[in-house]
Chains A and B, each alone.
Chain A
């Protein structure tokens, strides 16, 4: 396997995967359901995800030259590998779907008066398929190209928020206790981002401090996201429930911009890019999982089919991201939890056991 992705690119891709949806509609959902202490909840959930990252990193380091599928084959056999890949395929398919929907709702709400779904869907389909055709190397570079811009935009919004937020709104601390933690499984739709790493097994040129870099950058990202929620809530306090789109709404009270216009639309455009990258990334993962199970050829065709299936589902069911969130919350959360936590944990344990076996062999000899 050719090592085509650098450590820096991998970190940027993870940033896209983790950051994009967390600062869009999720803060509003958390503000409505949890409220003031949502940042603690968000931090907890992100940290749980972070544990998955650690497991996957361990496996990545252990099977440096193997792709994810090859690693699976060596762990659970061919049939087991195919089953896991199929589960992952379904998982990424649903993620593509939510991202597709989010993009549409996001643009329709923020940038267009009335945005025709088909005018939105087909151009994006063409560009995503084109990206998939160009391969993961080009995509990694694309992320590297745009993620600094995205991070910059995010930080500007973050700083504006920090300046304007009233941090005393954090009080009273944990007024209603930690009861909200009991409903954490219901938010599984928004998490489980590190599974995207399955694409990069055996493909990353690992730096000397690869693990440290990834872990530190992700930890700081987790902190920033949780703080962002806090800042967002502290800025708007009770009114947060009326602010659906966190990332651009936080910019709206910028002082003295009335003569040159509000800048939140620039942030909206930047987040349009982020959403596209996230969608493409998940399409890549879905194509990867699908092609390991069924066919190894024609990634562009597979991507087209996947996206067309999504369009069809949308056409037939006419769901939106909030509807799909409700479905996930009520019916499909156990599937999400199984894939997000169960599979990495299973593989991690098998990985650990295999090492022990290896260790035991020389002793026996």
Chain B
């Protein structure tokens, strides 16, 4: 034991880190025993190290300390922990300052992490009119604190898993121990441990590990960017997965209808929300089926159009060089190109692109007789409604092309067959013991209170049955209980 020299160990570690200039080492000479401290410059708060570690040690010079004494008596640092030799490298990489002492092969680690990062802001994809505006950030610690702040309960369990050989990304599973179905947690852990990947850059990497059918275009894992939504989901019995380095938290189990619900729904009047949700469902149908139906109408079923409507369509499409399918397909591709360009462009250019796209390209194409105004209107309507449910936009925009092709080949009957194919596929899409289309099919009566027609919050006394959980009661109405007691 005596031949363990702190300075040498530190130098050894620095060498292992390829003598990177941002690895800072410092020797502290205490007389009898020498100490060395090592940390990575960019990850640590140097001021904290000076104030809380080096300064207290220097006061007790000439004394003979063990690591335990240092931890308990000398250093005034709550996040100090004794590290075994195997953990040391990992902790240094995580932004710990690690203190070595002669004669001890262990070390003392101090959490002095200070990542550069964003503050808490409103996420751009989930802006709300009313309700909390805080959003997750890229820092796991902040994200966890945002959840903890809202759920100060001893039953809130946080489990940490490290994923990624090289990135060693911290992944936290957050759930209520007394609500969640533990089988779900076990399944998540099992699925995550199935893969040994070198790096995880975003939570989307994990999504593919967690999905039963990774090749499917349909999401099987939910996501959110706001702590209030995450907490609501935890309260419903879901597991929230926070991944270090990304503001997107994952929620499991996932049902399709989740995406029709917005956090705003819970902070506004239930009747209004019901109407909005009907519009969202309608929007989904419009975005997926409208282009296909329009093509089918023109190619096969013009007879179902009322005469005056037909006159307008026939007049506007009279001299088009493209057949209805190609026309719609052309406009869809045009819209998607414009969308892609405007997303990628810098903001000030994006504006210009959308003006060029909408005004010049669209208008000129109509005037030039390449496309018809109803065609542009149909695709524009469909393109707008794609984003009525932002989380589903990728699958919807793919499906509308599929249905456009089916509508162009088989007409309405084809669209119906395609829809049946799609729904039967989704009916068999259970993940984490949760039916994908619940609570509509299988029908779960209690969960319909928060389905398309939303009921008042006061009636939602139990947790959703579609999410497996072991504690059904969400709310007890005291008045009712009191009335019962008095009746008895």
Contact = CB atoms under 8 A, between A and B. Distances in A.
Asked if chains A and B are in direct contact (CB within 8 A), the reply is yes
Interface of A: 6, 8-9, 107, 111-113, 115, 119-120, 123-124, 127, 130-131, 134-135, 137-139, 141-142, 144-146, 258-262, 265, 269, 272-273, 276
B184 to A, nearest CB: 20
B304 A6 contact: no
B442 interface: yes
Nearest to A261: B306
B425 interface: yes
Given A6-B442, A112-B411, A119-B410, A145 B416 contact: no
Contact of A261 (B304, B411, B413, B414): B304
Contact of A142 (B412, B417, B420): B420
B424 to A, nearest CB: 5
B308 A259 contact: yes
A141 B420 contact: no
Given A130-B421, A259-B308, A269-B412, 16 more contacts: A112-B300, A112-B411, A119-B410, A123-B414, A127-B420, A127-B421, A134-B424, A134-B428, A138-B424, A141-B428, A141-B441, A142-B424, A146-B420, A261-B304, A261-B309, A272-B416
A265 B423 contact: no
Contact of A145 (B308, B411, B427): B427
Interface of B: 300-301, 303-306, 308-309, 410-414, 416-417, 420-421, 423-425, 427-428, 435, 437, 440-443
Given A265-B304, A276-B416, A123 B443 contact: no
A119 B414 CA distance: 10
A323 B55 CA distance: 101
Contacts, number: 89
B215 to A, nearest CB: 16
Nearest to B428: A138
A120 B300 CA distance: 13
A265 B303 CA distance: 10
26 contacts: A8-B443, A107-B413, A111-B300, A111-B411, A112-B300, A113-B303, A119-B410, A123-B410, A127-B424, A134-B425, A137-B427, A141-B427, A141-B441, A142-B423, A142-B424, A144-B442, A145-B427, A145-B437, A146-B420, A146-B423, A261-B305, A265-B304, A269-B412, A272-B412, A273-B416, A276-B420
A6 B443 contact: yes
Nearest to A112: B300
Nearest to B411: A112
Contact of B428 (A113, A127, A135): A135
A273 B420 contact: yes
B297 to A, nearest CB: 10
Contacts of B425: 130, 134
Contacts of B423: 142, 145-146
A149 to B, nearest CB: 11
B443 A260 contact: no
A120 B413 contact: yes
Contacts of B443: 6, 8, 144
